[in-house]
């Protein structure tokens, strides 16, 4: 991952991830100092989120996709395709089974984290969805 780091996230489990303008992702283990570079996006990464157990990391990119990566192997596990424009937001559900993305295409999407299938499309915004999160109980989502 080269270029300016655009987004940064830290887990309680001593991992740090950064998404870059070149579409690369880097995940560091702060205890060991070891880092892994992950490539696959063709445009800048705009959001990064760790799964609740820290085993996976979710990225959102202006290339219209989101990707789920293994923090252990650096492999891309699944690519989430369906947004018609840049993806700005990425979030995991508390149980790690679902992910949520928000896009410049005026929608948010709920995905199955294992299969990569879109479960639900949230429409109704009159502009870009810059942020999409799960409520703490996980029963609802909030978008802006």
Length of the chain: 144
Residue 14: band (very low, low, confident or very high) from pLDDT cuts 50, 70, 90: confident
Q: What is the pLDDT, as a whole number, of residue 5? A: 59
Distance between CA atoms of residues 39 and 83, nearest Å: 20
Query: What pTM was estimated for this model as a whole?
Result: 0.92
User: Which residue ranges form the domains of the chain, and what is each CATH number?
Assistant: 5-143 (2.130.10.10)
Residue 81: band (very low, low, confident or very high) from pLDDT cuts 50, 70, 90: very high
Give the rounded distance of the alpha carbon of 58 from its chain centre: 3
Non-local (6+) Cβ contacts of 94 within 8 A are 52, 134, 136, 138
């Amino acid at each position: 991952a080269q270029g300016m780091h655009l987004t940064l996230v830290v887990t309680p489990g001593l991992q740090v991830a950064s998404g870059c303008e070149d579409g690369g992702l880097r995940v560091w283990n702060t205890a060991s100092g070891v880092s892994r570079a992950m490539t696959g996006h063709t445009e800048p990464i705009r959001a990064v989120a760790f799964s609740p157990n820290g085993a996976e990391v979710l990225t959102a990119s202006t290339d219209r996709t989101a990707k789920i990566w293994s923090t252990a192997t650096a492999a891309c596990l699944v690519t989430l395709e369906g947004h018609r424009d840049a993806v700005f937001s990425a979030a995991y559900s508390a149980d790690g089974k679902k992910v949520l993305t928000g896009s410049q295409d005026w929608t948010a999407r709920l995905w199955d984290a294992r299969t990569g299938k879109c479960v639900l499309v949230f429409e109704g915004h009159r502009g870009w969805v810059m942020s999409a999160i799960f409520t703490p109980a996980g029963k609802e989502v909030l978008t802006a």
